[in-house]
């Protein structure tokens, strides 16, 4: 089932087009990795998929429905993002993880403690969030997203600059969410190895344009576009 359908979507900032996607489908329950160098438009794509911004042109269908007047709050809450540089509230780790539930009027229950334990944060639950390391902050950001049990999890370079322990932990959680719970995941990254480890399908975004989207095996082993082949080989693309 197609969850997102993007057609002719364009987004510009200060007169510069940063995203120009002719067509992109995201299926329910898949783990799609969008690769590309810095400034390719990956984060902008995630902002559109999370309804944080509207496209300047084109349409985005979510669950088969067009969103001409913007999504309803209920629909917004089916999707959440873990950002590259998470901004946490100046409260305890536990309060940060429970924040999204409180927004929804739900009282923090066992889910919060489960998420803290799963992300190896139980010992830090009462600690002020602003004293955490980069890896711990990223784990809190993932935990606060997961307690919401989203249908769609958008990940914006979730392991950039993290140590191998945190990378392995976050990747295992993402894999579990997708494989066991059926959460649709869109991961944007410039890390080819991570995309290869996680994705069922992958795409390359260059200068705001989608160059190629294909099942992971084809994308990494038999890319059709020479630019994809170059990117997968780790060669610089301008």
Query: Are the CB atoms for 191 and 33 separated by under 8 Å?
Result: no
| 158 lies in the site for another protein, by CB under 8 A | no
At its nearest, how many Å lie between another protein and the CB of residue 32? 18
Query: Smallest distance, Å, CB 90 to another protein?
Result: 6
Q: Which structure tokens are listed for 25?
A: 């489908």
Q: Which one among 14, 16, 68, 90 touches another protein, defined by CB under 8 A?
A: 90
Read off the tokens for 143: 């935990």
How far, CA to CA in Å, does 106 sit from each of 101, 109, 111, 168, 231?
5, 8, 11, 31, 44
Binding to another protein, residues 136-155 (CB under 8 A): 144-145, 148, 154
For residue 91, the tally of other CB atoms under 10 A from its CB is 13
Please identify which residue in 4, 83, 219, 220 interacts with another protein, judged by CB under 8 A.
Answer: 83
Q: Does 107 contact another protein by CB under 8 A?
A: no
For position 41 contacting another protein by CB under 8 A, the verdict is no
Closer residue to another protein in complex, CB, 112/204: 112
CA distance 91 to 76: 24
Residue 204 β-bridge partners: 35, 212
Cα atoms found within 13 Å of the Cα of residue 43, Cβ hemisphere only? 10
Tell me: does residue 100 bind another protein (CB under 8 A). Answer: yes
For 68, residues 6+ apart whose C-beta sits below 8 A from its C-beta are none
The radius of gyration of the chain's CA atoms, rounded to the nearest angstrom, is 18
Work out how close the CB of 95 gets to another protein at its nearest, in angstroms, rounded to a whole number.
11
Please state the closest distance from residue 193 (CB atom) to another protein, in A: 26
Q: Assess 99 for contact with another protein (CB under 8 A).
A: yes
- Assess contact for 232 and 219: CB atoms under 8 A: yes
Within the chain, strands assigned E span 2-13, 16-27, 31-35, 57-62, 65-66, 79-82, 152-156, 184-189, 201-206, 209-215
Site for another protein in 112-141 (CB under 8 A): none
Using CB under 8 A, pick the residue from 2, 103, 179, 217 that binds another protein. 103
Q: How far is the CB of 182 from another protein (least distance, A)?
A: 20
The window from 33-41, 99-107, 169-177, 213-221 that contacts another protein (CB under 8 A) reads 99-107
159 lies in the site for another protein, by CB under 8 A: no
Contact set with another protein (CB under 8 A): 47, 50, 52, 73, 76-77, 79-81, 83, 85-87, 89-90, 99-100, 103-104, 144-145, 148, 154
């Amino acid at each position: 089932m197609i969850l997102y359908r993007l057609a002719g979507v364009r987004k510009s900032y200060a007169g510069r087009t940063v995203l120009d996607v002719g067509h992109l489908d995201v299926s329910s329950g898949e783990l799609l990795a969008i690769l590309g160098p810095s400034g390719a438009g990956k984060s902008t794509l995630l902002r559109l998929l999370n309804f944080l911004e509207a496209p300047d042109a084109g349409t985005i269908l979510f669950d088969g429905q067009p969103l001409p007047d913007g999504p309803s709050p209920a629909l917004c809450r089916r999707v959440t993002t873990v950002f590259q540089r998470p901004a946490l509230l100046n409260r305890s780790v536990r309060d940060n993880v429970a924040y999204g539930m409180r927004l929804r009027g739900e009282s923090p229950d066992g889910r919060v403690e489960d998420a803290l334990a799963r992300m190896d944060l139980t010992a830090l639950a009462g600690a002020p969030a602003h004293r955490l390391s980069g890896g711990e902050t990223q784990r809190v950001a993932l935990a606060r997203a997961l307690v919401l049990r989203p249908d769609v999890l958008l990940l914006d370079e979730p392991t950039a600059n993290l140590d191998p322990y945190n990378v392995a932990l976050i990747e295992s959680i993402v894999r579990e969410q997708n494989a066991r719970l059926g959460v649709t995941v869109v991961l944007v990254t410039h890390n080819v190895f991570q995309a290869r480890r996680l994705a069922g399908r992958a795409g390359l975004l260059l200068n705001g344009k989608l160059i190629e989207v294909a099942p992971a095996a084809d994308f990494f082993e038999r890319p059709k576009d020479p630019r994809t082949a170059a990117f997968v080989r780790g060669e610089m693309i301008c």
